[in-house]
Amino acid sequence: MPDTTRGPGAGPRRTATITNRGRRPVRLLALIVLIGAGVLLNTCVHRPDALTQVQRSGVLRVATINSATTYYLGPQGPKGFEYDLARGFAKSLGVKLKIVVVPDRAAIIRAVETGRAQIGAGLAISPARDARVRFTPPYLSSKLDAVYRQHENKPKKLADLSGHLVLPDDTALADWLRQRHPDLHFTVDHTANTEELMARIAHGDIDATVANADVVAMNQRYYPKLRVGFTLQHIRQQMAWAFRASDRGERPDGLYNKAIAYLEQAKSKGRIKILHDRYFGHAAQLGFVGGAEFARQVKNRLGHWKSYFKAAGQQYGVDWRLLAAIGYQESRWNAKAASPTNVRGIMMLTRDTAQRMDIDNRSNPQQSIDGGTRYLLQLRKRLPKAVKPPDRTWFALAAYNLGLGHVLDARRLLKRAGRNPNVWVNLREALGWLTEKRYLAHTRYGYAQGKQAAAYVSNIRAYYDILTWMTNKKRHKKPAALDEQPSASGADEGDDKNTPPDISITSPAF
């Protein structure tokens, strides 16, 4: 049948071919439209803000480093100024706290930028950091002291440090000095933290550093030769929490604003002042009393409690003079002694330790001495069998002060270094490594005040020797500190589980 719709002279019919070709651009255009619509829809789906993330997961992630001023595991679990402050914030939000441990302060910034943590703690504000993260207003302001070694030339101003100053690489001070004092020559050590630099000054290896005044006071207890030359003028270390810069547009009641409100309340109600006093306030006053003062207290105080020390020593097979030396180191034989961290009594027991030892009154001298003795023996029993007497006693004392987990960490570091981990002379050195950044990645329990524990044991040994000399005229008959027979039930290195269930610790991958 002829096609009446086609005009004269029309060529062969090609309708099907024309129709298919015409549809291809239409289909392509439709596909582009659909893709574009999908992109628009996706861009309309915003990533949940920080507060929503925390509320949905029930966890607040805080990135910080292992250090004396931030977070570390003490004998009874997590401790530190920043840890306590962050724990309070998590509690106010009704969520759990997750500490994300990173190797240095630069890594804190990266953890916040990448969303690995919602908050970065333990940071001082600096222009370089402020360009990358969003800081809260500062909640703590600290002086910075120039530290040098006793008997060296005392520096009186920054110019005196030129060519002699060494700083850690993760301090905000280096940037400030480069901007404000371009003629000052100093070295940045990329392997050491502030505490390690102060140890080097005390040993005469370097000349000077600049550090937070609280940290300086703490380390002067362990290194009497450390001296403060001067305090830097016109600059203070301003501590603040860091948040992701891209969250600046979050809702008014978001995580950042809640953190500001929490910190302001902590300041106004004295919470920050209490935390500062707990961790740093007593540092400048603490020190190890010399032999003459110890002898005086033997005469004035020991007589009140000697019968209790002797009774515990006889009952448990321990030289009573060692127990007395521990009691003096812990409390100066003051039955009413108490610390800001709530340890009490002659043997300064924590509440948890007292409960485990079935002690109901830590301020009762007899109970305190009895409980402290049994706790020491429990720690000694849990040490690996390879640790033999008399070193086993000194290991146990270090654990009494620091926690067994950290002592076992020091042994692991010695093994890694190819050194005998079962002798005190090596362990004493390795305890100091627990404050050094380069070693922390190879530990299970992280940062610890190992230098303090080493000094603690050394002082008890000295007090014990003095008591032995004073009470035993035949000094060559000095008895063993403990009746040290190797325990048949010595614990493996993994027995100490001192991370509580309400906090999870994330260590960095190296």
Count CB-CB contacts under 10 A for residue 55.
16
* Dist. CA 397–CA 168, nearest whole Å: 32
Under a CB-based contact definition with an 8 Å cutoff, are residues 53 and 243 in contact? Answer: no
In this structure, the strands spanning 59-64 and 119-124 are: parallel
The residue with tokens 């948040």 is 243
Any long-range contacts for 110-113 (C-beta under 8 Å, 24+ apart)? 111/63, 112/63, 112/242, 112/243, 112/244, 113/244, 113/245
Is-catalytic flag, 330?
yes
Catalytic residue among 82, 250, 330, 493: 330
Nearest to 13 by CA among 1, 24, 25: 1
| CB-based burial, 183-217: b 16+ in 10 Å, e otherwise | eeebeeeeebbbbbbbbbbbeeebbbbbbbbbbbb
Query: How many alpha carbons lie under 13 Å from residue 441 in its C-beta half-sphere?
Result: 9
Reduced to 3 states (helix: H, G, I; strand: E, B; else coil), residue 186 is strand
391-402 and 365-382 are packed helices; what angle lies between their axes, rounded to 10 degrees?
120
Contact (CB, 8 A) for 445 and 409: yes
State how far the Cα of 273 lies from the Cα of 253, in Å rounded to an integer: 26
> Strand pairing partners for 243?
134
Q: If residue 272 lies in a helix (H) or strand (E), which one and from where to where?
A: helix 271-276
How many whole angstroms separate alpha carbon 481 and alpha carbon 484? Answer: 8
> For strand 165-168 and strand 186-189, is the pairing parallel, antiparallel, or unpaired?
parallel
Q: What is the largest CA-CA distance in the chain?
A: 140
Buried/exposed 421-447: b ≥16 CB within 10 Å, e otherwise: bbebebbbbbbbbbbbbebbeebbbbb
CB 373 within 8 A of CB 323: yes
Residues annotated as part of the active site? 330
